[in-house]
Amino acid sequence: MQISLEGKVALVTGASKGIGKAIATTFATSGAKVMLNSRKQDALEAAKAEIDAACTAAGVSTDVEVFAANAGDLDAATACVDATMARFGAIDVLVNNAATNPYYGATLGVDPARYDKTFQVNLKAPLFWSQRVWEAGMRDRPGVIVNIASVGGMRTEFGLGVYNLTKAALIHLTRQLAHELGPTRVVGVAPGLVQTDFAAVLVENFGDRLAAQMPLKRLGEPQDIANLVTFLASDAASWITGDTYVIDGGAGVRGGG
Ligand SMILES: NC(=O)c1ccc[n+]([C@@H]2O[C@H](COP(=O)([O-])OP(=O)(O)OC[C@H]3O[C@@H](n4cnc5c(N)ncnc54)[C@H](OP(=O)(O)O)[C@@H]3O)[C@@H](O)[C@H]2O)c1
């Protein structure tokens, strides 16, 4: 089995660092043309320079472009999708990766503003970015939508209740869109704890203890997630749709003991 994304165009939200940057890099070194999105132009330019260098080192000739936009701003989503179509002529793979978590605490303690912000970026954006990409051409040229969820969308834990609600809904949105959009494939990925800025506080406070309890004895790296996403986005996964795949170093199989 060979995993190649040659001839494909991908749009990755939240691609300037962490998991999104690793996905975009692996897509590009696998031959895809990639549009990187996040909010900050300078961070995007820096990520593009790194990805261009990785492609050169791998001897891969491809094309990477950037578009700064807040994923939760639906007009900006339209502009980013339009820019991708204008630059590359198609979108074969959309990765809904950008997410936010402005609130940590008891679920009933959340205020409406932070509740709305969490849902806007983590759930509303994946739905409407998918809609924009579908209408821009995926309806006629079937592709793949990958939603980055979380193991938190499958279980309960203190502090992350509101964030996890958005991820649980995203897992169901993945099923629902797979039902409605086939032969376009819609798949989800649910990472456990991965070492990024997003998870820095958790990694700092609980990382060593959690890693020691895991069957694979380490926390996740962005590249672990990128490898799975690249497989799912490729034609090697052409009979996979609707499900969300846990990737957590085995943390979830341990049970409570
Ligand atoms: N790290 C973990 O342990 C973990 C576990 C489970 C699931 N996840 C999920 O994995 C995904 C990536 O997380 P990460 O850990 O890689 O986070 P990260 O390192 O903080 O990176 C987040 C990326 O998203 C961008 N971003 C943030 N808000 C955005 C917005 N409103 N619009 C557009 N871009 C935005 C950031 O760039 P700008 O600041 O420039 O916008 C950055 O490029 C998220 O969906 C997260 O929920 C992470």
For residue 1, the CA-to-ligand 1 centroid distance in Å is 30
The whole-number pLDDT of residue 256 equals 55
Does the beta carbon of 198 sit less than 6 angstroms from any atom of ligand 1? yes
Mutation to probe ligand 1, out of 11, 12, 13, 17 (largest number of atoms < 8 A from CB): 17
Distance between CA atoms of residues 52 and 33, nearest Å? 11
For residue 199, the CA-to-ligand 1 centroid distance in Å is 9
**pTM (predicted TM-score):** 0.98
For residue 14, the CA-to-ligand 1 centroid distance in Å is 5
pLDDT tens for the 257 residues of the chain, in order: 789 999 999 999 999 999 999 999 999 999 999 999 999 999 999 999 999 999 999 999 999 999 999 999 999 999 999 999 999 999 999 999 999 999 999 999 999 999 999 999 999 999 999 999 999 999 999 999 999 999 999 999 999 999 999 999 999 999 999 999 999 999 999 999 999 999 999 999 999 999 999 999 999 999 999 999 999 999 999 999 999 999 999 999 976 54
Structure tokens at 131: 């809609």
For residue 257, the CA-to-ligand 1 centroid distance in Å is 31
> What atom in ligand 1 is closest to the CA of residue 121?
31
Does the beta carbon of 43 sit less than 6 angstroms from any atom of ligand 1? yes
The whole-number pLDDT of residue 254 equals 78
Does the beta carbon of 42 sit less than 6 angstroms from any atom of ligand 1? no
- Three-point CA angle 234, 240, 243, nearest 5°: 120
- Tens digits of per-residue pLDDT, 16-25? 999 999 999 9
SS3 content of the chain, % helix, strand, coil (to 5): 55, 15, 30
The whole-number pLDDT of residue 1 equals 79
For residue 140, the CA-to-ligand 1 centroid distance in Å is 30
Q: Is 163 among the catalytic positions? A: yes
Does the beta carbon of 193 sit less than 6 angstroms from any atom of ligand 1? yes
Distance between CA atoms of residues 136 and 140, nearest Å? 9
Q: What are the distances in angstroms from CA 155 to CA 124, 158, 218, 227, 234?
A: 21, 10, 21, 24, 29
Does the beta carbon of 187 sit less than 6 angstroms from any atom of ligand 1? no
The whole-number pLDDT of residue 255 equals 65
Residue ranges and CATH numbers for the domains of the chain are: 9-246 (3.40.50.720)
Does the beta carbon of 18 sit less than 6 angstroms from any atom of ligand 1? yes
The whole-number pLDDT of residue 94 equals 99
Distance between CA atoms of residues 243 and 174, nearest Å? 7
